[in-house]
Chains A and B, each alone.
Chain A
């Protein structure tokens, strides 16, 4: 079991987590080769990402170290390459390999933060709405409706525009980062809320919840201890896909010009810049970050798949 893959899970099912770890999960984990490989892959990619300042051969964020005369170097095994740049360089002479390490770190941080924020808000509101019903339900769901009319991309476009008008003088890199997290989580929470609400409405009419109510257990305990574990299945599906989606959406936003700035590139920024060089022969600028992104998302998702199956009480 890797440290990193526990993090999202422990947020979802805090009380049962340890117990599960001891028994079935570990067992199921060792049975699946794909999962072991995915876990290993995730671990390696996370290590590369978070240790990038120490292992990357260059610092792509240090403008003074970039030399435009080093630009468009092909990967080391192609003729005309400089062995100092293993995967080649981009249009500014940035080392692609180092940029991928650093970029992956930014993509991951953005992804995790937005998924965690979204899940906390969404699950909370979904439980309350589904369990309480009535006016509170209507209010929360109407807020969700408003929210849904602004999909992630639109939210980010509008918020980015508005916020830049309001706080134009802030540091652009920090600023873009928080805008991204804010707009991604703002657009994701509804999915959790609506799904949790739907399942909660089903669960709350079941005998065990009715029984718990009858014996006078407080609502919040019922919600957390009895209903919550039963809605983790769909939530896990959404959370895993959302982590991937957050990373990919961030990339899409780079394409629209509201992602991370190129001076602090994420994987998405690198792809959208490299995108312009696909036809011109400098394919490495888009393909390598693209492969890194695909690998990362694939591993995380595979791990999530397994985790979901293993955590789901109905499947055991």
Chain B
């Protein structure tokens, strides 16, 4: 039933298409969100970066299986532990005809770290960039970093001359009184040119005939429309108005499949959905337990964990488009994931643990939940609330739109939550990111694990995390990570639920590769 995305097979097939310059193919697609602006350093968000990835390119790129490939850099080597050398591709031209050289890399490295950039994490501020010759660049790091280039597929190289010519050197920030030229226009090296961009209405891309790589797609034009309403998005696909829409609600997969002209493309996503508990405050903000914090007791945390019927959530609410998870990271991103097993679902054990901890009659707690951020987020929270109700914990659910939810629970508002649902994708595709953001100790202001909303803290985990950062040997590194994850798992520092799945609705005329990071790249598309 489901389309399998065999990148290799389709690539062979695509080659055949690319050679026949027959009719002009237009791909029309819709996404739930808007492409706000097109400066590649303005917003570190998947859809923006994915859209711009068709126009701009990084030194590296990732293929359909997310493996790192050479792009604007033909090759690279670690010449000294602290010095990485990148050999740039020759003969590459930007869309305006300018040549791509080492100058552009240095410029982009400075711009991405400048004030107002949202992608500062791509390159450490202490790193220096040295031009060796026109097509060789050295990155001198303050210390060894085995995952330096992991996020460079979305660090796009801009044209120095073009940017300077249009007075767009400083990254767009909202405080600017005049709009930045680069926020409305794009000039990359990628397989598509940005033809027009009417914000929130329509964005048009056209094929770049001078692209350095062999095009495996057969598209001439791509039209993007944002459609916020789930039902309308699905309707536009079913009625044949659009070729591809994403995401589609999990409950509509069956419908899209049963329609003769469309199918659903599903696959695992890297985002982990989990529950967090405030373990930092001496007394919970939203609870009837006064004078102490029940979540500071590991038995209570484990009781909550074991009260949750994850299979029920996955089967019914996620319609099996999710994988229960024992870890805070997707198994695709961590090789030893299968060593970890979830604490089993066992309401009786849960009640026993609560009784042991002195909460025989249960207690009440307020739960914060977004209702427009993750797949069926509010429904998951409701299900959790009713499962906890059965072991005696009364949950007062506060499900809100993401703007209000994040404004409430994040550091800027002093982590105003007792119990919450959150999702996390490590942008570097690596466990260290999860440990540092989700599980490291923090203070009240958020120094440390800034997104560790519940304030879980174990110094041992922090120490392991520091070791992971500088360990260059992959096996030892994974062992250190395993040790840290084991502690978190035993202490129930957080309650992982599942990795949600991706669901795209695709017309049968279209072949596409679905990447697990939910990036949609036109170069993987053929239409017939």
Contact = CB atoms under 8 A, between A and B. Distances in A.
A91 B286 contact: no
Interface string A37-75: 000000000000000000000000011111111011000
Interface of A: 62-69, 71-72, 91-93, 161, 164, 168-169, 171-172, 257, 261-263, 275-282
Nearest to B379: A91
A64 B316 CA distance: 17
Q: Most chain-A Cβ atoms within 10 A of its Cβ — which of B249, B251, B252? A: B251
Interface stretch (B47-55, B137-145, B200-208, B398-406): B398-406
B386 A276 contact: no
Contact of B255 (A62, A63, A161, A281): A281
Interface string B154-192: 000000000000000000000000000000000000000
A66 B404 contact: no
A69 B311 CA distance: 10
Contacts of A172: 396-398
B273 to A, nearest CB: 15
Nearest to B398: A172
Interface string B306-328: 00010011001100000000000
B234 A279 contact: yes
A145 B194 CA distance: 45
22 contacts: A62-B389, A63-B382, A63-B394, A64-B386, A66-B389, A67-B386, A68-B317, A68-B387, A69-B312, A71-B317, A72-B316, A92-B379, A164-B404, A257-B371, A257-B400, A261-B397, A262-B399, A263-B397, A276-B230, A280-B252, A280-B255, A281-B254
Given A169-B285, A257-B400, 10 more contacts: A63-B389, A63-B394, A66-B389, A68-B313, A172-B398, A262-B378, A262-B399, A275-B231, A278-B231, A279-B255
Given A280-B251, A281-B255, A91 B317 contact: yes
B445 interface: no
A286 B44 CA distance: 37
Interface in B366-399: 371-372, 376, 378-379, 382-383, 385-387, 389-390, 394-399
B465 interface: no
A41 to B, nearest CB: 30
Contact of A261 (B255, B399, B416): B399
B252 A171 contact: no
Nearest to B388: A63
B88 interface: no
A144 B395 CA distance: 41
Nearest to A92: B382
A276 B232 CA distance: 10
Contacts of A69: 309, 312, 316
Q: Taking chain A's interface residues, is the majority helix, strand, or loop, or is none over half, making it mixed?
A: loop
B411 to A, nearest CB: 17
Contact of B372 (A68, A257, A278): A257
Contacts of A63: 382, 385-386, 389, 394-395
Interface of B: 230-231, 234-235, 238, 249, 251-252, 254-255, 285-286, 309, 312-313, 316-317, 371-372, 376, 378-379, 382-383, 385-387, 389-390, 394-401, 404, 408, 416
Contacts of B372: 257
A129 B378 CA distance: 47
B399 A171 contact: no
A167 to B, nearest CB: 12
Nearest to B392: A64
A172 B286 CA distance: 12
B400 A164 contact: yes
A257 B399 CA distance: 9
A92 B238 contact: no
Contact of B316 (A68, A164, A275): A68
A276 B390 contact: no
A282 B254 CA distance: 11
Contacts of B371: 257
Nearest to B234: A279
Q: Most chain-A Cβ atoms within 10 A of its Cβ — which of B230, B286, B316? A: B316
A92 B371 CA distance: 15
A68 B397 contact: no
Nearest to B258: A281
A120 B230 CA distance: 40
Nearest to B286: A169
Contacts of B312: 67-69
Nearest to B407: A165
Contact of B401 (A64, A91, A93, A257): A257
A92 B254 contact: no
B313 A277 contact: no
